[in-house]
Homo-oligomer: A and B are copies of this chain.
Amino acid sequence: MSKAKPSLPKGTRDFGPEVSAKRNYIIDVIKRNFKRYGFSQLETPSMENLSTLTGKYGEEGDQLLFKILNSGDFLSKTNEEDYRTGSKSITPKISEKGLRYDLTVPFARYVVMHQNDIAFPFKRFQIQPVWRADRPQKGRYREFYQCDADIIGSRSNWNEVELALLIQDVFKDLRLEDVVIKVNHREILFALAGYVGLNDNKVGFCAELDKLDKVGADTVMGKLTEMGGDQNKIQEVMELIGSPVTDIDSLENVVEKVKTIDPENQGISEASNFFKSVKRTARSNVPFEIDLSLARGLSYYTGMIFEVKPTSVQMGSICGGGRYDDLTGIFGLPDISGVGISFGLDRIYDVLEELNLFHSDISQPLQVLVVHQAGDSGEQNFEHSQQLVTELRTQEIDSELYPDPVKIQKQFKYADKIKVPYVIVVGDEERESKTYSLKNMVSGEQQKLPLNELIKSLQG
């Protein structure tokens, strides 16, 4: 047994009481809204067979999978030739399972395995950690939570609207209204690709566009020209792309412009209907913006795409998603269309922290600490405190009793350290009169109250 100073694996974190409470607050808001919109929970195991995971995230993704060593004598399925050929070729023989990389592939696997029991449209949410063997850096972890909601088995564009309203509700409930919900449509991007003469490299066009924020317009234009696009038309498209519009009426103008390029474009009519529906049903003012430069790296999106960015903090997207046509084709079940979104818990946490949007009572969940006077009647005071704390708990008041017979100053020191908002003192006087001293630890105010008033005061 080593007694070395213990440490955490790189890129992983402990969440102590205060951080846990804040994370739970975010999760509860997201979960509350997932349920409000009729999504049901799914949980999948942390481990999946590597045959399920491999090949779904591109070559880079495969390298970022955490692989689990087979149990027992794992080398028994290998020979020296495998060893000499190297890590890559020996891996499949010593590892059959991996930790999930996202929640989408396990969801697709679940749908295929339960296709006969599931009632479509299937609205599922899933809030679980995922693991990636990425190089750890600020804001990027090897274990982090995704909060996903998907509606599959329905092509109705009302689903996109519902997810947009849900996004609005989540950020409204988090009081994080300094965000913008950027939307775009892959068909519009594909039309623009065709307009500049890159019809046969639409995905490449989107990939270049996706870098606009990082590399700037000139570099993107250069790249698109290199790829064979028409320089004047690229210029024209970049101007259109460069001017995001936040007002719903002026969005119609963008739509009109794109219509001149491709009048039959499905993306245009879908985006236009999307805004009409949102305008009709929105429950909050969290703003939308059509951003034609929004491309979303993932190749499987085929329709509307979303991304949420905070406007008053420097931070990447904190939520994203879109419509896909073929969730489960990779597992042999074709034509399952759907639309999904994913909230990034860790980034939302960082934004709320930076903007000071956590209420102080989120991180101070414990309501009351009961402290008791030592001395000649210490034992009696302690027993009296035990009755009191039991009564408080019966009244649904979360409470703690200092468990050791130490000086009351030491108990108050503990109260300060755990930042408990209220302390009740039980001394000889309080025990005999059954009237308790309730101290508000924030204001310093102190009151003497009989039990029923004490409880009322704490419940109020």
Contact = CB atoms under 8 A, between A and B. Distances in A.
A114 interface: yes
Interface stretch (A8-16, A257-265, A446-454): A8-16
Contacts of A112: 5-6
A129 interface: yes
Interface in A92-150: 94-97, 99, 109-110, 112-114, 119, 121, 123-124, 129, 131, 133, 142-143
A24 interface: yes
Contacts of A154: 403-404
A287 interface: no
Among A4, A40, A97, residue most surrounded by chain B Cβ atoms (within 10 Å): A40
Interface in A45-99: 45-49, 51-52, 55-56, 63-64, 66-69, 71-76, 80, 83-84, 86-87, 90-91, 94-97, 99
A20 interface: yes
A433 interface: no
A217 interface: no
Given A7-B113, A67-B68, A159 B17 contact: no
A300 interface: no
Contacts of A330: 1, 3
A334 to B, nearest CB: 10
- Chain A interface helix/strand/loop/mixed: mixed
A121 B382 CA distance: 16
Given A6-B113, A283-B393, A41 B69 contact: no
A359 interface: no
Nearest to A399: B38
B40 A17 contact: yes
Contacts of A75: 83, 86-87, 90
Q: For this complex, into which size category does the number of interface residues on chain A fall?
A: 35 or more
Given A159-B403, A281-B390, A41 B12 contact: no
A285 interface: no
Given A17-B41, A41-B20, A69-B91, A393 B6 contact: no
Contact of A87 (B49, B76, B97, B99): B76
A280 interface: yes
A277 interface: yes
B110 A2 contact: no
B46 A401 contact: no
A431 interface: no
Contact of A20 (B43, B73, B151, B390): B43
Among A20, A56, A124, residue most surrounded by chain B Cβ atoms (within 10 Å): A20
Interface string A266-282: 00000000000100110
A165 interface: yes
Given A74-B87, A75-B83, 7 more contacts: A1-B56, A3-B331, A15-B41, A36-B396, A47-B131, A80-B80, A158-B386
Query: Which 4 interchain pairs have the tightest Cβ spacing?
Result: A38-B400, A17-B40, A12-B45, A119-B417
